[in-house]
Amino acid sequence: MTFRTDAILDDLAARSLIHGQTDDAELRAALSAGPITLYCGFDPTADSLHVGNLVPLLLLRRFQEHGHRPIVLAGGATGMIGDPGGRSSERNLLGPAELDANVAAIKQQLVAFLDFEGTDGRPPAILVDNRDWTADVGVLDFLRDVGKHVTVNTMLSRESIKARVEGEHGISFTEFSYMLLQANDYHELWREHGCVLQVGGSDQWGNIVAGVDMVRRRGEASVHALTVPLVTQSDGSKFGKSVDGAVWVDPNKTLPYEFHQHFLRTDDADVERFLLQLTLIEVDEVATIMADHADAPQERRAQRALADAFTTLVHGEAATAQANLAADVLFGGGEITGASLDAVRGIVPESTVATAAATGDVAELLVTTGLAKSKSDARRTLGDNGISVNGEKLDGREALGADDLVDGRFVLLQKGKKNKHLVVIDG
């Protein structure tokens, strides 16, 4: 396969994915000369990536699809200290067991986004952990080999450091040293793998250019930096694990259905930007989607394209199909089938009951599932025709039969407009 290794910058510019870079002309020249090696680091401060991490991770994917070799770094060493940027006070240091668990979880997620086999002629991605070259380095060696190449004046000029120094809580020497560790990572990857580009979020600019300077001083070589904008919504809020309602990559922390629903609710002011920055849909195709969306914005076609593409990218096609099935049942009046009810498991409350309980007195079943406080409460609701079974009103029926069991496995009860409960047949 023939790759246009120099076309990546044009694609990134069209997606508004370039926030800062060291020298556009020099980077273009390096890319035009052939495939390069680049890296991005992710600290395991939690046991899952979140949506805010995915723009730089997908940046590695975009470079790989243009023929370049990505290195993805799990920051086992830097995660022990924590980046001071974007914080007003010292973070709590993680214990060894928690850090190890986070590193293992993060590595699994990182691997899912890149090609580590080198299919279709692409250079295979590399996964590294900066503990491998940091853990055995003594403090005196680190100070001599790394610290002497960076002035305190330079470090204090970086916004992430300056904000903390001038803030109410100040900054500890531990977090102050974070920049040196990340700069050393760049030098190590340049030395071992010929890495000439570090990428990351715009809040990493100070740390990244410190690495550029470190390679220049220690290796007498010219390397590059490129940052992408942080993922923000139209109200200025950003996606991140510290924000209420954070959207996680781990399906146990954010269900694929919830992930899909989150992006279905994207504001019109954000949807085009998210299509460009959070998916691999070609720029021209995004323009077509937006033109189609403009014809009938109430149908939210762009949001559907975004939710489907991004959920598939993160969780796979099967998860996206299930999310759509579940949404059709819960909101769209879709056909009630065994597959569609299976898709809502874990999304709505459910109870497991014996067949006899599911096909008996409806009032008793409502009490069992918690949709009614008592049988008298259940009968009042039934008398008001306020209960639906599998999307259909009961219309006076007081008992269910075998025909009400979907696939012999499920009954979907609904009280009012929003209160749904899935009955699962035991065995």
| 124-130 average pLDDT score | 95
- Classify domain 256-334 at the CATH topology level: Tyrosyl-Transfer RNA Synthetase (1.10.240)
Under a CB-based contact definition with an 8 Å cutoff, are residues 175 and 165 in contact? Answer: no
Whether residue 394 is predicted with pLDDT greater than 50 in this model: the reply is yes
Place 94 in a pLDDT band, splitting at 50, 70 and 90. confident
Helices marked H in 8-79: 8-14, 24-32, 51-65
Under a CB-based contact definition with an 8 Å cutoff, are residues 63 and 96 in contact? Answer: no
Contact residues for 288 (Cβ-Cβ < 8 A; gap 6+): none
> How many CB atoms sit inside 10 A of residue 136's CB?
8
Transcribe 134-200 into DSSP letters. TTT--HHHHHHHTGGGS-HHHHHHSHHHHHHHHSSS---HHHHTHHHHHHHHHHHHHHHH-EEEEEE
In CATH, the number for domain 8-228 is 3.40.50.620
| Nearest Cα to Cα of residue 318 among 265, 252, 260 | 260
| Nearest Cα to Cα of residue 105 among 311, 309, 248 | 248
Domains 256-334 and 350-425 in one fold: no
Under a CB-based contact definition with an 8 Å cutoff, are residues 210 and 154 in contact? Answer: yes
Query: What was the pLDDT predicted at 71?
Result: 97
| Nearest Cα to Cα of residue 99 among 71, 130, 70 | 130
Report angle CA 44, 50, 51 to the nearest 5 degrees.
140
Whether residue 240 is predicted with pLDDT greater than 60 in this model: the reply is no
| β-pairing verdict for 20-21 and 224-228 | antiparallel
Task: Please write the tens of the pLDDT for every residue from 167-211.
Answer: 877 888 888 899 999 999 999 999 999 999 999 999 999 999 999
Report helix, strand or coil for 419: strand
Copy the structure tokens of residue 244.
């209420």
Query: What was the pLDDT predicted at 293?
Result: 98
User: What average pLDDT is seen over the chain?
Assistant: 91
As a whole number of angstroms, the distance between CA 392 and CA 81 comes to: 57
Query: What was the pLDDT predicted at 242?
Result: 45
Task: Please write the tens of the pLDDT for every residue from 277-327.
Answer: 999 999 999 999 999 999 999 999 999 999 999 999 999 999 999 999 999
Cα–chain center distance at 167: 30
| Least-confidence region, from 45-59, 273-287, 327-341 | 327-341
Under a CB-based contact definition with an 8 Å cutoff, are residues 227 and 295 in contact? Answer: no
Task: Please write the tens of the pLDDT for every residue from 135-148.
Answer: 999 999 999 999 99
As a whole number of angstroms, the distance between CA 208 and CA 227 comes to: 9
Cα–chain center distance at 149: 35
| β-pairing verdict for 69-74 and 126-129 | parallel
| Nearest Cα to Cα of residue 161 among 85, 275, 243 | 85
Task: Please write the tens of the pLDDT for every residue from 62-89.
Answer: 999 999 999 999 999 888 887 776 555 5
As a whole number of angstroms, the distance between CA 241 and CA 53 comes to: 10
As a whole number of angstroms, the distance between CA 247 and CA 250 comes to: 9
Report helix, strand or coil for 348: strand
Sign of CA dihedral 271, 273, 275, 278: negative
Query: 414 - beta bridge partners?
Result: 388, 420
As a whole number of angstroms, the distance between CA 15 and CA 18 comes to: 8
The domain segmentation of the chain, as residue ranges, is 8-228, 256-334, 350-425
| 379-394 average pLDDT score | 92
CATH class of 350-425: alpha beta
Query: What was the pLDDT predicted at 1?
Result: 47
370: left (phi over 0), alpha (psi -120 to 50) or beta: left
Under a CB-based contact definition with an 8 Å cutoff, are residues 222 and 216 in contact? Answer: yes
Under a CB-based contact definition with an 8 Å cutoff, are residues 363 and 379 in contact? Answer: yes
| Alpha-carbon distances, residue 354 vs 192, 340, 371, 374, 420 (angstroms) | 62, 21, 18, 20, 19
As a whole number of angstroms, the distance between CA 334 and CA 387 comes to: 18
